[in-house]
Structure 1
């Protein structure tokens, strides 16, 4: 039997996609996660996350999906994450030859789940569903998902740095990131990689409404 963990990276970002990941491992192999050093991705350096990522993809099954800023600006982020979680679990179930191969699903709580339990039942899942705050620090399988989500987000942010010259971590608490976003707005651009609903950008809306969108997005450069 398998267990699955789900977590995300970039929920509070100003620049770049929110990445949500699912990681599955056979329950008999779960102790191996702690043995190789898996823990909450926020406690690890980028180098450590990259090393663990290389190990995780050898011993488990994973899937990752993005939620771009445009969607977050127009819909409730909790509902978006819930839908992506459902999509991820469909992918994982297919790779494991069906939902009955899964014993339990652990999710780092991101809001009240309104639809996911029903969707799982419709898919034929009959195992446990554990949704808890700070699950990434309680369950190694969720920590593994958090590492995968963070590694993929970091790599995609590297691409954005090459494409658009993004500076900093991509978060609104980072002065370098905020400075870069303001420079972009002052140049009259509205890039699809920026989350415009953030309060950080209050006072710039009149300007933002006038700016144009670039023709290319991150997906055009991902091969």
Structure 2
């Protein structure tokens, strides 16, 4: 499976110090390779009058193309009346890729800190899609669950969760996946009472999408630091950052020399890498399959007539077991021993 097209990886800088660890970082799930969602509490100003306060909501992702680390979807909503004034004019949100790491970290910290205007007006959520789960979907032998489908499902579920909380969302803005018009029509069928705009570069056009991109990017950066702890003696993400942290594996993109070198140096010849690696990416598969790198495992052909068995062939009586003195064939008797014809 080839890596999907994504933004220029040179813009995907990874901070190595002063990393803000947002509440969206669930360390146990990240280390276990489990995908999960995190929702902030509904802002008090919105919660006081849920039905009448009309909100705008934006969605964006971070980490679509890397071979290492999760893909994270971020969502942010706030009152329509605050959309431009608070996000664009007061705090100067922009596409997270063009913001300095410390700037976007500070913005995320403000979103999460009680008493700030961002905390009081903005609700947010993230969906951390683990590298393990992404690869498992893309490597299914049948009914492949491709990256676009996984991304759309994550987006739709995040939005549904916000509606389920009673938030009065009137406008939705989303950075596109694939063709914008096709994606928009799909979302309009699911959320028919809401004005929906799907556009390329939405993270630089609509402040709520810019803010969502910051939520996604800061969460992914911290998730990378947590993942890298398994390869370091540092006790915390902050200590890990000071020691080099996830910068040791670069941006996580296949085009990063640091990333490729890290993959080569940390590859197990049988299992490859841990939960931080998307095994479905061509970069990882090519390394494992290259001559002399990985251990080749051959599986029996289940369609081979000599190997084929009916399930009823493995139903055996005690008496039949007593007269069967032939040595076991481990694969042929995987589910039990065939029933001799004389016992049927």
TM bin, normalised by shorter chain, reads 0.7 to 0.9
Offset at residue 49 of structure 1 (A): 0.6
CA distance in 1, matches of 2:164, 2:149: 23
Query: How many residue pairs are counted as aligned between the two chains?
Result: 203
Question: Normalising by structure 2, what TM-score?
Answer: 0.55
State yes or no: 1:179 paired with 2:261.
Answer: yes
SS in 2 for 1:203: helix
SS in 2 for 1:13: coil
SS in 2 for 1:32: helix
Offset at residue 179 of structure 1 (A): 1.0
Bigger helix share: 1
State yes or no: 1:83 paired with 2:153.
Answer: yes
* Poorly superposed stretches of 4+, deviation over 4 Å: none
Residue of structure 1 aligned with 2:283, choices 188, 200, 219: 200
State yes or no: 1:69 paired with 2:131.
Answer: yes
CA distance in 1, matches of 2:198, 2:213: 15
CA distance in 2, matches of 1:208, 1:195: 19
CA, structure 1 residues 65+209, in 2 after alignment: closer, same or farther (shift >3 Å)?
Answer: farther
State yes or no: 1:26 paired with 2:73.
Answer: no
User: Structure 2 matches for 1:120-131, cutoff 5 A?
Assistant: 120-121=191-192, 126-131=193-198
SS in 2 for 1:22: strand
What is the match of residue 217 of structure 1? Answer: none
The answer to whether the Cα contact below 8 Å between 1:5 and 1:142 also exists between their aligned partners in 2 is yes
Larger radius of gyration: 2
CA distance in 1, matches of 2:195, 2:153: 19
State yes or no: 1:16 paired with 2:69.
Answer: yes
Bigger strand share: 1
What is the match of residue 146 of structure 1? Answer: 213
What is the match of residue 214 of structure 1? Answer: none
The answer to whether the Cα contact below 8 Å between 1:37 and 1:52 also exists between their aligned partners in 2 is no
SS in 1 for 2:154: helix
What is the match of residue 216 of structure 1? Answer: none
Q: Which runs of 5+ in 1 are unaligned?
A: 211-223
State yes or no: 1:53 paired with 2:108.
Answer: yes
CA, structure 1 residues 128+56, in 2 after alignment: closer, same or farther (shift >3 Å)?
Answer: same
Offset at residue 138 of structure 1 (A): 0.4
1:93-128, Cα deviation, whole Å (9 max, x unpaired): 233x14xx111000000124275333324xxxx010
The answer to whether the Cα contact below 8 Å between 2:187 and 2:196 also exists between their aligned partners in 1 is no
Question: Normalising by structure 1, what TM-score?
Answer: 0.83
CA, structure 1 residues 94+209, in 2 after alignment: closer, same or farther (shift >3 Å)?
Answer: farther
The answer to whether the Cα contact below 8 Å between 2:67 and 2:284 also exists between their aligned partners in 1 is no
